[in-house]
Amino acid sequence: MLKSSNCKNYHSYRCLLIDYLSVLQKLNEIIPSVLDTPQKIGLATLLQKQIKGYNDLKDDKQVVGDIEELQNCIIRRLAERAENARNIVKKETIPDDKLKPPDDVWCLSVMPEEDDLLYQTIFLKGNKAKGGYNDLDHYLEIQYRLYRKDCIVPL
């Protein structure tokens, strides 16, 4: 890890770049999760471009090596995080056909009630894009609830 620059009175651009790299390294060491976003790899890449464009630092093997190590570390953690997200077992979802509505659709008021307007606790089953409905009552229940929601929610 680079030590912070030793500038006394005049803080040059070289010192600024080295200090910026030191801050990123320290963050990576102390709180690695802070750098675990794709935007942070962009910060490290921007720093690398600035270092390579600055004549005093582009030949400094330690500085170039440290920034590459930091980038690789961030990329490795991002890849691990993505892999962990892929491996999360998805919860089993209950098919809409198995869900039991809390109330009978035929007892619902056509006009919205106070609870419908204030709390909007509307039980919905998704419209079937594939497959068929169980029967005519099943079709009418789903369509009525969806239409009623479309009319009540904007209120």
Q: Where are the domains of the chain?
A: 13-87, 96-152
Rounded distance, CA 78 to CA 33, Å? 10
Rounded distance, CA 4 to CA 20, Å? 9
The pLDDT value given to residue 106: 76
The pLDDT value given to residue 93: 52
Give the residue-averaged pLDDT of 83-92.
Answer: 63
* Residue 89 pLDDT > 60: no
Cβ atoms of residues 64 and 58 within 8 Å: yes
64: which 2 tokens?
Answer: 């170039």
Q: Helix 61-87 and helix 38-53: axis angle, to 10°? A: 160
Q: What percent of the chain has pLDDT over 70?
A: 79
Q: What percent of the chain has pLDDT over 90?
A: 0
Say how many C-beta atoms besides its own lie within 10 A of residue 95's C-beta.
9
* 6 vs 66 pLDDT, higher one: 66
The pLDDT value given to residue 91: 47
The pLDDT value given to residue 95: 61
The pLDDT value given to residue 119: 66
Length of the chain measured in residues: 155
The pLDDT value given to residue 96: 60
* Residue 19 pLDDT > 80: yes
